[in-house]
């Protein structure tokens, strides 16, 4: 019964998936592409997204937390798929990883030692390694990786399926830091024992896939592009929009010159104005800062957001739209064919990742209805 509806087009998701496959896997028969489905598939819903990607042939998934990996494992055939957990296996989670066949990404020497101890007890030893080449977030430092490479007694106990690093500036292909990271990654990989020289390597995220073969290595981890966000700064988006967000017009008010709208009276009518009140606010995921520069679309025409976005309601100026074309009960597009998720992110002075995950969190409540098509 919600007045606000988030629609996810799984056919468009599949199209984006195949765009990535064409751009990456054609470069070599040994290339593999995996889907990043952390944060509830960037807010679009992990279960239906994973099911559709599985149907399209995806067998490699990446999540942040073990609990997210469990959702993936319960959605598809985890005995066939590989489900990597970026945060690794935290103390006490070992049996959970074994039960659901999750693969920890080990980020430190301590992680390795704990995982080896569990592997000796259980016989389950699958893992990935994360090498830090400039993000300074998670992953082995250069000294830590050097220590690991010299510890053959530990490495012998781990079935390493992937060695990965993460690009700092993938959204700007020409950034010098990307080249520095590639050199650092190659240098560190050169330290690995010859017996493990064939372990698959991974550097490319969504933007990295399209940055060229220098960043491809063996495995790509694609995220934001799958969901229709633009992985690049200042370039056209090559991917199809996946989500549409619409909200109902609850009321239309006629304002005289000088009358104000919303808290703080930060907006005042400079002319006789028609204002539509929408059934969406920051409690539904619309970032409060959107009120300064954001727009919605009504019947394909832009209407600026005015005044402050409130908890449950948002006001827009429809004065320039034909009065007969807008009525109470009509729906306004917040994100869709006219306004992209990147447009809304720019208006809110943020990134499309935050916009997607913010609306996704709220669509798990009863305030925003989530609908799947395709």
- Three-class secondary structure of residue 164 per DSSP: strand
Per annotation, catalytic residue among 38, 217, 227, 282: 38
Has 217 been annotated as catalytic?
A: no
Q: Tokens 């025409």 appear where?
A: 301
Per the CB < 8 A criterion, the answer to whether 138 and 86 are in contact is yes
Q: Which of 316, 230, 216, 311 is nearest to 267 (CA)?
A: 316
308: which DSSP letter? -
Q: Tokens at residue 199, please?
A: 């372990």
Rounded to an integer, what distance in angstroms lies between the CA atom of residue 159 and that of residue 240?
A: 37
List 27, 99, 120, 263, catalytic entry: 263
Question: How far apart are the C-alpha atoms of 50 and 268, rounded to whole Å?
Answer: 47
What pairs with residue 327 in β-bridges? none
- Compute the distance between CA of residue 163 and CA of residue 177 in angstroms, rounded to an integer: 20
List Cβ neighbours of 131 (8 Å cut-off, separation of 6 or more): 139, 140, 145, 163, 164, 165, 185, 188, 189
d(C-alpha 68, C-alpha 61), whole Å: 11
β 159-164/201-202 pair status: parallel
Query: Taking the alpha carbons of 107, 110, 114, 119 in that order, is the dihedral positive or negative?
Result: positive
Active-site residue flag, 263:
yes
End-to-end CA distance of the chain, in Å? 22
> Which amino acids are annotated catalytic?
38, 263
């Amino acid at each position: 019964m919600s007045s606000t509806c988030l629609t996810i087009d799984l056919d468009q998701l599949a199209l984006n998936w195949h765009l990535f496959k064409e751009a990456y896997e054609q470069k070599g028969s040994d290339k593999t592409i995996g889907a990043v489905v952390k944060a509830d598939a960037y807010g679009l819903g992990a279960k239906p997204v994973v099911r559709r990607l599985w149907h399209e042939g995806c067998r490699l998934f990446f999540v942040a937390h073990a609990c997210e990996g469990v959702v993936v494992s319960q959605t598809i055939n985890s005995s066939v798929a590989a489900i990597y957990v970026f945060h690794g296996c935290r103390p006490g989670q070992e049996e959970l990883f074994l039960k659901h066949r999750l693969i920890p990404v080990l980020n430190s020497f301590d992680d390795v030692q704990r995982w080896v101890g569990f592997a000796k007890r259980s016989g389950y030893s699958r893992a990935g390694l994360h090498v830090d080449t400039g993000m300074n977030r998670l992953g082995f430092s250069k000294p830590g990786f050097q220590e690991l490479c010299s510890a053959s007694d530990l490495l012998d106990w781990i079935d390493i399926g992937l060695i990965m690093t993460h690009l700092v500036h993938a959204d700007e292909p020409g950034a010098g830091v990307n080249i520095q990271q590639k050199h650092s990654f190659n240098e560190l990989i050169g330290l690995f024992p010859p017996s493990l020289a064939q372990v698959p390597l991974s550097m490319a995220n969504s933007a990295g896939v399209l940055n060229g073969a220098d960043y491809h290595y063996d495995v790509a981890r694609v995220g934001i592009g799958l969901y229709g966000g633009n992985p690049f700064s200042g370039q056209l988006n090559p991917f199809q929009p996946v989500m549409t967000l619409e909200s109902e017009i609850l009321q239309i008010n006629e304002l005289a010159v000088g009358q104000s709208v919303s808290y703080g009276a930060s907006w005042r009518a400079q002319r006789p104005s028609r204002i539509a009140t929408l059934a969406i606010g920051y409690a539904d995921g619309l970032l409060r800062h959107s009120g300064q520069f954001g727009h919605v679309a009504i019947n394909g025409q832009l209407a600026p957001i005015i005044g402050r976005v409130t908890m449950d309601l948002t006001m827009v100026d429809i004065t320039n739209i034909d009065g007969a074309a807008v009525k109470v009960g009509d729906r306004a597009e917040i994100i869709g064919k006219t306004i992209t998720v990147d447009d809304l992110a720019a208006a809110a002075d943020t990134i499309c990742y935050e916009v997607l995950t913010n609306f996704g969190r709220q669509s798990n409540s009863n305030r925003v209805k989530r609908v799947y098509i395709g």
